[in-house]
Structure 1
Amino acid sequence: MSAHCPHDHPATEAGTSHSRYRKILWIALAINLAMFMLEIGAGLRAGSASLLADAIDFFGDSANYAVTLVVLSMGGLWRARAAWLKGGSMLVFGLCVMARALWMFTQGGVPEAFTMGGIGLLALLANGAVALMLYAWREGDANMRSVWLCSRNDALGNLAVMAAALGVFGTGSAWPDLAVAGVMAGLAITSGWTVMRQARRELKTLKPVPQAATEHQGF
């Protein structure tokens, strides 16, 4: 893992960092699964597109952390491949959120502002804690960067959900909720594209040299 970080570290320090990162990922996985189950129920009960978007995001992040735990001890090539797939999943998530918001727009109705605000605050506390724990690894390889971006995006999304709750309460309209869902979708799409581009660059760098080419060089 340290081979892909900006600076070199002693082997013992790298091993300690590796172990700490794995423990943090397990904690983040547990938090995200718990919040997904809580928020999906609250989003359906409140009729909020932004809460449902955030709930799906928690589920996607749970899968993100699980995949990262699997490939953490593998080579850089496998980690870059996993990052590319996770970036693609972030893109798909964004498109799904947009589709859901459009569907709810056609259905009409006003979401429940108090539920949106309360659950949004709880989700912000959860994601803020995870983002702080992962902050030290924000400049790692594409796989690590995808984990950090997901956590950062979640915290920003929670702030937006709380703002949408205030907007719904103040206007009595669903527009703030739908607008925030659209912003969250855009954030997921741009972040997914960023991770996929970095992973693609790493895949080109880490691509094994064909045996024929090696033999041609005199090995």
Structure 2
Amino acid sequence: MADCCSGGCSSDKPPVDPRYRRVLWIALWVNALMFGVELYAGWAAGSVALLADAVDFLGDAANYGISLFVLALAPIWRSRTALVKGATMGGYGVFVLGTALWHLQLGVLPKAETMGVVGFLALLANCSVGALLWAYRNGDANMRSVWLCTRNDAISNVAVMLAALGVFGTKSGLPDLLVATIMGLLGLSAAYSVMTHARREMREGQAPAPAAPAPASVPAATIELKRR
């Protein structure tokens, strides 16, 4: 029994990496904090890109929490959770695209200075989390989804800063809306990647194991020799 618990036997539950668990807790708190910062700044600045990024931070905080919950579960449940997370990412993308269209009709001019400062702060936060998650980027579907979320966040932060520069230079809200649209499309792309990876893992996990080859029959002559 001791040998089995130490890894001598196969198990449906993978060992939990304590370092990965700590990284997820750090990522959860960083994203929860940045959600509050960007939500307030987005409404104050009238920026769709910042609001979209705030929703993204909230979604990531929830994803990290889910990841912590499924760390010790069987691989099939981790893959199913990744499917749910992928659907959430896709919903985020649709939400951002719809919000961008709504703000296009309103014609609001966001505050470029606020967008730039908060975007840079968010970039620092995501780069810090990304550095911690780098070693786990090629893990299972659940780990991959966590890495993709952080990577896309960093790209979105750079885009928000570019949008701030565009708004400042053109005195128009179109750069903000353009970046929000790109962020929505990134969310849809990441959702497709995560869900495809999770489905593949589920198919591989449910596939029946190949039958063991039958032992070769012992020739009768050999049996007779042994008797002698």
In 2, distance between residues paired with 1:172 and 1:50?
A: 16
Q: Which runs of 5+ in 1 are unaligned?
A: 1-13, 215-219
Q: Distance in 1 between matches of 2:82 and 2:206?
A: 15
Quote the residue 2:49 is aligned against.
50
Residues in 2 aligned to 1:64 and 1:35: alpha-carbon distance in whole angstroms: 15
Question: Counterparts of 1:131 and 1:100 in 2: how far apart (Å)?
Answer: 27
The AA in structure 1 aligned to 2:135 is: A
Aligned-partner Cα distance in 1 for 2:207–2:82: 18
Deviations along 1:42-72, whole A, 9 cap, x unmatched? 0001000000000000000001000000001
TM alignment of 1:37-76, pairs within 5 A = 37-76=36-75
TM-score, structure 1 normalization: 0.87
Aligned to 1:145: 144
Q: CA deviation at 1:207?
A: 2.0
The aligned counterpart of 1:110 is: 109
Alpha-carbon shift at residue 208 of structure 1 (Å): 7.0
Residue aligning to 2:81: 82
Aligned counterparts of 1:25 and 1:147: Cα–Cα separation in 2: 9
- 1:1-219 counterparts in 2 under 5 A? 18-207=17-206
Question: What do the CA deviations read for 1:98-144 (whole angstroms, capped 9, x no partner)?
Answer: 00000011111200000000000000000000011000000001100
TM-score, structure 2 as length reference: 0.84
| Structure number, greater radius of gyration | 2
RMSD of aligned alpha carbons: 1.7
Spell out structure 1 runs of 4+ moving beyond 4 A. Answer: none
Tell me, which stretches of 5 or more residues in structure 2 are unaligned? 1-13, 212-228
Length, aligned pairs only: 198
1:139-166 C-alpha deviation (Å, 9 max, x unpaired): 0011000000000000000000000000
Letter in 1 for 2:38: E
* Whole-angstrom CA distance in 1 between matches of 2:150 and 2:62: 13
**Cα drift, residue 203 of structure 1:** 0.7
Q: Which secondary structure does the structure 2 equivalent of 1:201 belong to?
A: helix
Instruction: State the Cα distance separating 1:206 from its structure 2 match.
Output: 1.1
Letter aligned with residue 104 of structure 1: H
Structure-1 separation of matches of 2:23 and 2:137: 13
